[in-house]
Structure 1
Amino acid sequence: MFMGEYSHTIDSKGRLIIPARFREGLGDKFVVTKGLDNCLFVYPQPEWAALEQKLKSLPFTRADARAFVRFFFSGATESNLDKQGRVLLPSNLREYAQLSKDVVVLGVSSRVEIWSKERWDEYNTAAGQSFEQIAEKIVDLL
């Protein structure tokens, strides 16, 4: 399970250090793709395979299902860590998530998320203001 929040920077070549706590869980190869809320999602291979099966079961006759699957898979890339624990983020994914230098790497249960620091701060502030209301709506669902 991934959890925690870590601040890092992307170097001039587009490489990002993945927190040491996340490296073992991600394994030798993992998938980085466009996430929701303009961040990147990073999945270990087993989680990606499970998600892929769920997405394959969506009805391809529905335009919204096709659009979501297209969005999710078109941005996906298989990645790995170098000897220093860095991942090279392709330019199209960096552009999508508006990643330049300062980033926040989050552990979110079964995946890792990569956010631009500016966008994370904005999102976190907005979500924090309504956290109690959100909790009231979903806690009973658990």
Structure 2
Amino acid sequence: MFMGEFHHTLDTKGRVIVPAKFRKLLGDKFVITRGMDGCLFGYPIEQWEKLEAQLDKLPLTKKDARAFTRFFYSAAAEVEFDKQGRINLSAPLIKFAKLEKDCVIVGVSDRIEIWDAERWNEFSQEAEDNFEEISEKMTDFDF
């Protein structure tokens, strides 16, 4: 399971270090793609394959399903770690997540997320401010 928050920097070549504890869980190769809320999602190959199986069930006749799968798959890339534990992010992924220099890599159960630090701070503050209200709306969850 992925959990935790780590701060790293994106270099001028589009590379970012992935924390060692996440590298162990991701394996030698993993898939990175556009995520929700303006961040990137990174999945171990096994988890990516489960997600693919679910996406394959979406009806081709539904416009929203076509749009979602196009957007999700079009920037997806299989990445590997270099000797320093970095991955190289493509220009479309960097642009989508508005990554500049300071990044935050967070573990979220079955995936990692890569955020621009400023966007993460904004999201995190909003979630903190509304945590109790958000938890009340989660009808199928009980602490």
TM-score range, shorter chain: over 0.9
**TM-score, L = length of structure 2:** 0.96
Residue identity matched to 1:11: D
In structure 1, the partner of 2:16 is 16
Please state which structure has a larger fraction of its residues in helix: 1
Where do residues 68-87 of structure 1 align in structure 2 (5 Å cutoff)? 68-87=68-87
Q: Please state whether the residue corresponding to 1:8 is helix, strand or coil.
A: strand
User: Structure 1: how far apart are the matches of 2:75 and 2:118?
Assistant: 22
1:75-95 CA-partner distances (Å, limit 9, x unpaired): 100101001100001111001
Percent sequence identity is 55
In structure 2, the partner of 1:141 is 140
In structure 1, the partner of 2:129 is 129
5+ residue gaps, structure 1:
none
Q: Please state whether the residue corresponding to 2:49 is helix, strand or coil.
A: helix
Poorly superposed stretches of 4+, deviation over 3 Å:
none
User: Structure 2: how far apart are the matches of 1:76 and 1:16?
Assistant: 17
User: Structure 1: how far apart are the matches of 2:127 and 2:63?
Assistant: 30
User: Structure 1: how far apart are the matches of 2:135 and 2:5?
Assistant: 20
Instruction: Supply the RMSD in Å over aligned alpha carbons.
Output: 0.7
How much has 1:136 moved relative to structure 2?
Answer: 1.1
5+ residue gaps, structure 2:
none
Residue identity matched to 1:120: W
1:57-90 CA-partner distances (Å, limit 9, x unpaired): 0111111111111110011001010011000011
**TM-score, L = length of structure 1:** 0.97
